[in-house]
Homo-oligomer: A and B are copies of this chain.
Amino acid sequence: MSRSIRLAVIPGDGIGQEVVAQGLKVLSAVLPQDVKLETREYDLGARRWHATGETLPEAELESLKDHDAILLGAIGDPSVPSGVLERGLLLKLRFAFDHYVNLRPSKLFPNTPTPLAGRPEIDFVVVREGTEGPYTGNGGSLRTGTPAEVATEVSVNTAYGVERVVRDAYERANARPRKKLTLVHKNNVLVYAGHLWKNIFDRVGQEYPDVTTDYLHVDAATIFFVTQPERFDVIVTDNLFGDIVTDLAAAVTGGIGLAASGNINPTGAFPSMFEPVHGSAPDIAGTGKADPTATVLSVALLLRHLKYEAEAARVETAVTEDLAARDGVTRTTDEIGDALAIRVTA
């Protein structure tokens, strides 16, 4: 029986194109010969918006559905008003495809600079809720632009939405050696959403007696990210807190040049989407300076999601070895991609 992967590719803006090319290079290299990789590229992002005013037309959203997964580079450009592409394209995809598990592993690789003294051991994964919270676009503005303006943003949280992501996080914690799950929220101030999260976290926890649980307010959590990151194993948190702490997590583990993410729909009803956490970095676009490692690690998450576990592990090992072998000589985006592609086939 021949196997195939139908992959939608959205290179997007800035360095997106360059890093995605390396991700695809490594993906092709690591896949067994009998697996047919079919890619289809989508022209979405700043260029498209300037040309046509479109962010994500309905027809393209439909056509994207017809894939096993999506690989995305980066979205965003200073020439586009803030929010247009984020809300109209990136978040639209996460919401339309019900990517309720936004998975962001954080690991301090060997030979990788960290701003933290003493190089603590860091190896945790953040399960960020991806379809609710303050990201629903549920807000408005009254008397806009006048001295009497009132602007609101509504964080929407449902038992349905919280329970499914909390359950996913318990499953992941239960499958890891340390079996520890930390809920991060702010339930002493955001009492309604906070209590919903905490109650579900406690209730679902009864089904996972082997998992040790912990709760931290988001402000206190940021302290532990820099003073005691080794205390974390799996973290589950809301959409906005997850956005904030995963950038911080990336910073302490060597920078967003290495941070991968998966926007996952665990039911398989819609394709999941894999993207580096870094943005489009327009200042270095086209210079060959972009590090494609985060994209390559996102490809590993993609492979694991599609049940190519051995191939996912090979990609991760290749990255670990490549980082360990670094000697301080600066390499181009392409050179790093080549090195990784060679390693996965070795």
Interface residues of A (CB under 8 A from B): 76, 82-83, 86-87, 91, 114-118, 134-135, 137, 139-141, 143, 145-160, 163, 186-196, 198-199, 218-220, 222-223, 225-227, 240, 243-248, 250-252, 255-256
Contacts and interface: CB of A to CB of B under 8 A. Distances in A.
A244 B247 contact: no
Contacts of A219: 243-244, 246-248
Given A134-B189, A195-B151, A220-B247, A226 B157 contact: no
B156 A150 contact: yes
B87 A191 contact: yes
How many copies altogether?
2
A90 to B, nearest CB: 9
Contacts of A250: 223
A188 B152 contact: no
B139 A190 contact: yes
Contacts of A252: 226
Contacts of A149: 158-159, 196
Contacts of A186: 240, 243
A283 to B, nearest CB: 13
B251 A188 contact: no
10 contacts: A83-B188, A86-B188, A87-B189, A135-B189, A139-B192, A140-B192, A146-B159, A222-B222, A223-B255, A225-B248
A139 B138 CA distance: 13
A192 B153 contact: yes
B244 A218 contact: yes
Given A152-B157, A223-B251, A247-B223, A189 B86 contact: yes
B248 A223 contact: yes
A341 B265 CA distance: 60
Contacts of A198: 82
A148 B159 contact: yes
Given A116-B117, A116-B226, A222-B247, A141 B83 contact: no
A151 B157 contact: yes
